[in-house]
Every structure is written in C-alpha cells, then in structure tokens.
Amino acid sequence: MPHVPVAIVGAGHCGLAMSRCLASRSIDHVVLERGEVANSWRTERWDSMRLLTPNWFSRLPGFAYDGPDPDGFMTAAEVADLIEGYAADGGAPVRASTTVRAVRPADHRGYGIQTDQGDWTADAVVIASGACNVAHVPAVREALPPQVTSLTAADYRNPAQVSEGGVLVVGASSSGIQIAEELLRHGRPVSMAVGEHVRVPRRYRGRDILWWMDAAGVLDERYDEMDDLVRARNIPSLQLAGSPDGAMLDLNALTGHGARVLGRLAAIRDGVALFSGSLPNVCALADLKLGRLLDTLDAWAVESGIDVPEPPERFPPTVVLSAPPLEVDLRRGEIRTVIWATGYRPDLSWLELPVVNARGRLVHDGGVTRFPGLYLLGMPFLRRRKSTLIDGARADAADLTEHLAAHLDSLARHGQVAATR
C-alpha cells in the first residue's frame, strides 16, 4: 500500500491552494479527486450561474487574475477553467477519477484512505471536498402533495426544466434569489418563502460590495474573534448575484419583477403550505444589518482617507405586504413546482472519524480537528468570514499548512516518520 505524507481530498480551489502551499515547502502529497479538477463547477451548477465574487477577487496562492475584465463575474465553466489552469500551472499531483470511499485511522500511524483506485496511507489528511455537496432540504418536504414537483437548487439547471405554472422558491439567499429572478424573467409566477437573509447591494458608492468588505477587513474577521461562532458559521449566504449590470437583487427587486414574497415556510398541513407571520421582522433584521454594514464601510472610508467615487447612500427598507398570505393551497394547481434553495451541506459520509458533534455540527478549531493530522478546508467561517469564498482559501490554506508542517515535524522528531521531507 503506498504511503504519502499528506493526502488532500478534493481538487477544487481549496485542495489545490493547499497543494500549492505544501509544494512550496516541498511536502510530498497527493490530491485525490473523484472526477476531474473543479468537478462540481463542471457538473453541479445551474446553466446561467456566475461566480458571486468579481474576477479580481479570485486570488489563490501563486495566482492573481490578469484578464481583461477584473470587475466581471465568471460563468461556472470559466471558474472550472481557471481552477484547471491553476492545477496545471502548479503541476499539482492530482489523481483524477479517484473516489475516496473511506478515511479511517491506520493501524500504526496516520490514516488509511480507501479509494476505488487502490488504498493509501498518509500521515495527514486534508478534507477539501467542499461545503456544498448536497442540498439541504427541510423535513417539511415530506408533506408536499403528490401533484407538486420538488426540485432542489442543486438539481435546478434552467427554466425549461421547470413545468409551466407557478413556482414556490423556498429560501432567499444567493441561490434562491437568482433562481427566482431567472424564472420570473421566463414568465413563471414566482412565490418566495423568506426566512432570515443577508441583504447587500451588488455595488456601493461606485464599487463592488466585495471590494468594500475586503478593503475594510470585514471578510478577514477571524473565527477566534467572534462572540458567537455558532451563529457566525450559520449565517446564510449573501443575497448576491454575479450580475454583469451591477443591479441589486434584493426582495424589493424581485417584488418589482412580480414575485410574491411570503414568510418562511413553516409547515405543510393537509396539502396547504403555511407561512410564518415573521416576515416583517426578518426583513427588518436584514435592513438593520445592512445599515450597520454600510455604517462600518463608511466609517472605514473616512478613517482610511481613501477616495470613493460616490457619496454614502442608504437603501429603502424592504417592502412587505401589509398582510402577506399565511397559507397557499398546494393542491389547487397554483403552485406546480417547489424549489428548495434552503442551503447545502458537506457530504462526509466516507469519513469514519467522529468530527461532528451530537447536533451534527463539524467540530474543529479553525480547520484543525481533534484528530492529529486531520484538517478541514472551505467550510463556513472556517478561519475567516471569507473562508467559503475562493479568496478565503489563500489565507486558510497558508495557516493550515503551517500547522500541518509542525505536525509532520513533530512526528519526525518522535521517530514515527522516516525522512519524508
């Protein structure tokens, strides 16, 4: 059975960033990839999807965008090409079409890795297989009446796939608002079930919101500085779309396009969908939070003395119907399809080590698990607010490489590893 000091699971931007960091320290490793490099960008995105972050923001260790359109937003295929080029440039030791079946403690040291292309042992394993492998669907789906088609944001490809007639999009974060907008553009009547969400403008004072959040340090806020890390790790994705025109895609915009905005889907009882009466408050919370973010950015602009193209601006509050409907009968044919844009979860079913707690949450200290030499990358707020953005992999991979190298050194000092470096 071959042995390698480090095995990285997943050749997406995280795994390849880690690979680049390890290579710069001459730490021998392999990157195990179930499909091709950037597999999920090629196979698990809807057709029109664009990256939420501008091109210039796709920074990776040893890579910066130098193309013609720094402020544009890549299509999923362009992201995949970027990642593939990055892997090729760095000569990353990728084993493609190699599906990891199990990772478990090895008999004597480190970890055993079982794949469909043979088994490995490794002193350290870096899990970079993604935070969004499976669509999370609330249990209420079980109560959908049979005449309604159920689709997840991960299944969704384009409007042609959705039956004619009304659509209920559950969830108003990044996926939900984009799918809703596309369906509205194709003439479908869309209702949206809206719970907690994070409202942000695409552009603010003449610059992209991510430019602001990056420059002001908001995206660099660290996991060990958070008062409430559980909450920080569970905040829904920003209400953003990679719209080339820079338009803000918030609930007001969707209402303007004809969407009917309803409360959170609380239950389906006897075929009737029941929506929470909390819609005014979740919208008020999102508006207040947006105001606080803009206050922070404006204050930073003054403090840093930078030149900003446009003066401060405040956005009108989210408009909520005075009495939004609390129920919709799903048996009447008004809603033909329900699309669940209710978040994603990692699939770590192959990991035979208890890295989750009793409540199903990953337990780690900034990507360092309690199993020596086992690391996580790319999870929500892993080490920084931006950990799930492409740019977040840069700093996180550098930090974890530091930790991992020290771990290998300590194994070597204890004579457990014969000169692997």
Partner 1 sequence: MSVANAPVDNGVNVEALLGVRSALADTPDIAQFRWRATTSWLRGTHSQSSIETFYGFGEEQQHKTTFTYDADHPLQFAAQDNGITPVEYVLVALGSCLTAGIAAVAQQRQIQLRSVNATIEAEMDLHGILGADPEVRNGFSGIRVSYEIDADASQKDMEALVAQSQKRSAVYDIITNPTNVTVKVN
Q: Which residues bind partner 1 (CB under 8 A)?
A: 263-264, 266-267, 269, 274, 276-278, 281, 284-285, 288, 291-292, 323, 358-359
Taking the complex as a whole, how short is the minimal distance between the CB of residue 285 and partner 1, in angstroms? 5
380 with 345: CB under 8 angstroms?
Answer: no
Q: Which residues have CB under 8 Å from 406's CB, separation 6+?
A: none
**Which of residues 106 and 143 has its CB atom nearest to partner 1 in the complex?**
143
Nearest C-alpha neighbor of 193 from the set 145, 157, 154, 140? 140
- Answer yes or no: are the C-beta atoms of 375 and 125 closer than 8 Å: yes
Find residue 32's DSSP bridge partners: 9, 95
Beta carbon of residue 213, minimum distance to partner 1 (angstroms, whole number): 20
Q: Of 359 and 414, which has the nearer Cβ to partner 1?
A: 359
Residue 234 Cβ vs partner 1, minimum distance, rounded to whole Å: 13
Q: Which is nearer to partner 1, 244 or 325 (CB)?
A: 325
47 vs 327 by CB, closer to partner 1: 327
User: How is the beta sheet containing 190-194 ordered, strand by strand?
Assistant: 149-152, 335-340, 166-170, 190-194, 260-263
Q: Could you tell me whether strands 198-199 and 374-376 are parallel, antiparallel, or unpaired per DSSP bridges?
A: unpaired
390 burial class (0-12, 13-18, 19+ CB within 10 angstroms)? Answer: buried
Q: With respect to partner 1, which residue has the nearer C-beta, 10 or 263?
A: 263
Give the shortest CB-375-to-partner 1 separation in angstroms: 22
Minimum Å gap between C-beta 274 and partner 1 is 5
266 versus 341: smaller Cβ distance to partner 1: 266
> How far is 163 from 186, CA to CA, in rounded Å?
12
Nearer to partner 1, 218 or 285 (CB): 285
Would you state the structure tokens that stand for residue 18, as one six-digit string?
A: 């880690």
In whole angstroms, how close is the CB of 261 to partner 1 at the nearest point? Answer: 16
Minimum distance, C-beta of residue 337 to partner 1, in the bound complex (Å): 23
Residue 143 exposed, middle or buried by CB count within 10 Å (0-12, 13-18, 19+): middle
Classify 70 as helix, strand or coil: coil
DSSP secondary structure letter of residue 223: G
